[in-house]
């Protein structure tokens, strides 16, 4: 017989797990169009950027009937087109449109692959805190918005059978995106040393093929140093290590939990960000699997490479 204390402890654990499931994050993201994630654009400013993201995952064992229902791409490429508008002081409007190429390989044979439009996102960013000091600037912001089911969900294998939801460029679901960002310049009183934290989540709903893809929680910390900065700040160079933790929940198909499809991954890497001329920047980021958990069908991220270019401009005063 359970005691009252053990019952309360178990109930608390269940409530905590339920809350954790609501704090779901999107798939692993790369370096964005700015080296510091908390600050918004200047009022009336605009930004366009392109980010190319390459991700490889560990293989999974296929089944006699074909690709596992919880399969994710062993290789994927996502090209993100980003438009940002600083429509008000401390506020940004962000539109993100991805083009996704997924490929799943079992053994040496290509089992399925294809390219299509991914799910677009419409977000609003609000900087709610800024404090300037002799040391530097501390800023914090929150981003809210929706992921819209604009992506392709009809990708098929060689036999014409529809591929699992995890291999589709789109999800078929409308999801709520939440992000918290914090930037601290002047770390340890070095004005060119910056600590930047990005914690984001995506509250998923059921999408294509009665599948609710496993929820993730992602935390990305970048410690960057700026070894060069021109007097007019037109040219600058950031570089530093990155530490990312990604926790994936199990997938649910037809209301049934697919035990063993989720897990944890710890990625370590380095990112560099260069200002090449006024308003134009390029970046390159690389991350590698440092540690991961094991599951029956869990496919941890092994390598993650991204590069991009961004251009800022003034839209109005």
Q: Which residue has the tokens 């929820």?
A: 215
Confidence of residue 234 (pLDDT cuts 50, 70, 90): confident
Helix, strand, coil percentages (3-state) for the chain, rounded to 5, are: 10, 55, 35
Digit-coded pLDDT (tens) for 137-161: 999 999 999 999 999 999 988 788 8
pLDDT tens, 218-231? 999 999 999 998 88
Residue-wise pLDDT for 268-290, tens only, equals: 999 999 999 988 999 999 999 99
CA–CA gap between residue 163 and residue 158 (Å, rounded): 10
The burial class, CB within 10 Å (0-12 / 13-18 / 19+), for 14 is exposed
Percent of the chain with pLDDT over 90: 66
Structural domain spans, the chain: 4-314
For the CA atoms of 87, 317, 130, 240, the dihedral, rounded to the nearest 10 degrees, stands at 80
DSSP notation for 169-217: S--S--EEEEEEEEEEESGGG-TTEEEEEEEEEEE----GGGEEPPPEE
Among 124, 176, 126, 167, smallest CA distance to 148 is for 176
Predicted confidence at residue 14, as pLDDT, reads 45
Average pLDDT of the segment spanning 52-72: 78
- CATH number for the domain running over 4-314: 2.40.128.130
How confident is the model over 282-299, as a mean pLDDT? 93
Q: Of 74-78, 106-110, 189-193, 313-317, where does mean pLDDT reach its minimum? A: 106-110
Q: What is the bridge-based pairing of β-strands 280-292 and 175-185?
A: unpaired
> Which residues have CB under 8 Å from 63's CB, separation 6+?
none
CB contact at 8 A, 12 and 20: no
């Amino acid at each position: 017989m359970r005691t009252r204390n053990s019952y309360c402890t178990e109930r608390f654990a269940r409530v905590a797990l339920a809350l954790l499931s609501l704090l779901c994050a999107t798939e692993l993201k790369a370096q964005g169009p700015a080296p510091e994630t908390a600050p918004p654009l200047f009022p009336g400013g605009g930004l366009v950027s392109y980010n190319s993201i390459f991700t490889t995952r560990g293989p999974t064992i296929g089944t006699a009937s074909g690709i596992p229902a919880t399969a994710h791409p062993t290789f994927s490429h996502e090209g993100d087109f980003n438009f940002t508008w600083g429509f008000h002081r401390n506020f940004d409007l962000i539109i993100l449109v991805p083009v996704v190429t997924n490929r799943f390989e079992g053994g040496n044979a290509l089992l399925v692959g294809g390219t299509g439009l991914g799910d677009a996102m419409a977000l609003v960013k609000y900087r709610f805190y800024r404090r300037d000091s002799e040391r530097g600037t501390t800023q914090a912001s929150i981003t809210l918005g929706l992921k819209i089911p604009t992506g392709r969900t009809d990708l098929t294998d060689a036999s014409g059978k529809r591929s699992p939801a995890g291999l589709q460029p789109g999800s078929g679901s409308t999801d709520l995106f939440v992000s918290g960002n914090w930037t601290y310049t002047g770390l340890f009183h070095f004005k060119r040393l910056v600590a930047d934290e990005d914690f984001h989540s995506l509250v998923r709903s059921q999408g294509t093929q009665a599948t609710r893809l496993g929820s993730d929680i992602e935390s990305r910390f970048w410690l960057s140093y700026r070894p060069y900065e021109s007097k007019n700040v037109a040219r600058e160079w950031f570089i530093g290590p990155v530490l990312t933790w990604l926790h994936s929940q199990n997938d649910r198909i037809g209301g049934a939990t697919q035990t063993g499809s989720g897990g944890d991954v710890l990625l370590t890497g380095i990112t560099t960000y260069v200002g090449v001329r006024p308003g134009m920047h390029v970046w390159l980021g690389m991350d590698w699997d440092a540690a991961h958990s094991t599951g029956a069908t869990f496919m941890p991220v092994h390598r993650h490479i991204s590069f991009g270019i961004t251009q800022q401009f003034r839209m109005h005063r």
